[in-house]
């Protein structure tokens, strides 16, 4: 069986420094390598012209700089949203998305292969959890998309495949690399960690005073409906989730974003809008309402009339609310859909 060359992205700065010292090179080489990988975005060791030819050849024999193979890509003819399906070196597949919104360019990245939470409207949940991503695999999604993007990315959201809080250490390590001033230098406020409601992760973010933004997928204004569409609510009840949200905002002095996916006939009534207003009262937050993008006929988006009416009801109560357009609707850009289509075709 052919051996797999180790990815240099798997090495932290201390390991890189130890590598250079071990082969008789000065430790300042580690800073040069780091800058070339993350700041310059080199994809081949031949581009490291600050190194001698023999050192470049040594690095080429010992490490790889990229480990993903691009299996499939699809671009929306409506809004130019681009979805990518990558195959990793062990054969598993993940998705990433580029969303263009004026000057805002968002990279939506995955944190797990599959997801264990089984949210009923989500294609990824049907996969179950296959494994966690390493921090290097999370970072490589950004590196690969940055090379393919029409414009430089401004925002990163952990809203692709998987539940980020169930891969907490790798997610935060990747975010640290992405925001490293000498590396990819993303604004920490522009990196959003999203969760379906894992209270332990929310509390840990607060206690560690993580500099990144937090988004919570609410998707229902009461415990019964939330359990029906998001089974994780049985383990982390809605009232306890809201307590954790209040604790987070009080401890960090930051606003939370509540994501609310509108599903026709499930969470779109006037009573639902009023319950959402009451739930979020006293919590510094913004609310994103998103028409559902699901391949399940039971979970369909409401009409534009219903969406606008829901928006007006919540806005009337002075909530900061945004209707998120259905980016990539016609190319099945919601997480897990391109993966599912690829598996079906295979």
Question: Using an 8 Å Cβ cutoff, are 195 and 202 in contact?
Answer: yes
Nearest alpha-carbon partner for 318 in 267, 271, 284, 270: 284
Q: How many CB atoms are located within 10 Å of the residue 306 CB?
A: 16
- 167 three-class SS: helix
For the purposes of burial, counting CB atoms within 10 Å of the CB of 260, is it exposed (0-12), middle (13-18) or buried (19 or more)? buried
Residue 226, both tokens: 């939330």
Q: How would you label 49-88 residue by residue, b for 16+ Cβ within 10 Å and e otherwise?
A: eebeeebbebbeeebbbebbeeebebebeebebbbbbbbb
E strand or H helix at 113, and its extent?
Answer: strand 112-114
Residue 187, both tokens: 């604004």
- Spell out the alpha helix ranges (H) of the chain: 13-22, 28-34, 53-62, 135-148, 168-179, 199-207, 223-229, 238-252, 270-279, 304-315, 337-345
Report, as residue numbers or ranges, the catalytic residues: 95, 335
Question: Using an 8 Å Cβ cutoff, are 98 and 107 in contact?
Answer: yes
Residues 6+ apart with CB under 8 A from 30: 13, 16, 17, 19, 20
Alpha carbons 199 and 38: distance in angstroms, whole number: 32
- 308 three-class SS: helix
């Amino acid at each position: 069986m052919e051996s797999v060359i180790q990815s240099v992205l798997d090495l932290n700065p201390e390991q890189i420094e130890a590598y250079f010292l071990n082969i008789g090179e000065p430790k300042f080489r580690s800073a040069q390598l780091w800058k070339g990988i993350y700041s310059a975005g080199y994809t081949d060791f031949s581009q490291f012209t600050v190194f001698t030819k023999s050192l470049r050849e040594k690095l080429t024999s010992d490490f790889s700089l990229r480990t993903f193979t691009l299996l499939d890509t699809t671009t929306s003819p409506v809004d130019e949203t681009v979805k990518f399906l990558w195959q990793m070196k062990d054969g598993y597949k993940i998705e990433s998305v580029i969303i263009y919104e004026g000057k805002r360019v968002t990279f939506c990245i995955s944190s797990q292969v599959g997801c264990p939470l089984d949210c009923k409207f989500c294609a990824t949940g049907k996969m179950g959890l296959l494994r966690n991503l390493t921090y290097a695999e999370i970072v490589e999604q950004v590196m690969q998309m940055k090379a393919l993007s029409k414009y430089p990315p401004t925002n990163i959201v952990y809203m692709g495949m998987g539940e980020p809080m169930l891969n907490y250490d790798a997610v935060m390590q990747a975010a640290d690399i992405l925001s490293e001033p000498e590396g990819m230098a993303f604004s920490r406020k522009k990196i959003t960690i999203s969760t379906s409601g894992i209270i332990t992760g929310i509390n840990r973010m607060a206690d560690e005073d993580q500099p990144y933004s937090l988004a919570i997928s609410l998707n229902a204004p009461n415990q019964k409906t939330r359990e029906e569409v998001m089974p994780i609510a049985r383990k982390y009840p809605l009232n306890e989730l809201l307590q954790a949200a209040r604790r987070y905002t009080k401890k960090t002095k930051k606003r939370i974003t509540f994501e609310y996916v509108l599903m026709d006939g499930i969470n779109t009534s006037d009573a639902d809008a009023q319950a959402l207003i009451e739930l979020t009262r006293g919590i510094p937050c913004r609310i994103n309402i998103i028409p559902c993008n699901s391949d399940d006929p039971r979970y369909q988006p409401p009409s534009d009339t219903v969406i606008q009416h829901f928006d007006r009801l919540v806005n009337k109560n002075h909530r900061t609310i945004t209707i998120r357009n259905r980016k990539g609707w016609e190319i099945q850009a919601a997480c897990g859909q391109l993966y599912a289509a690829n598996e079906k075709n295979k």
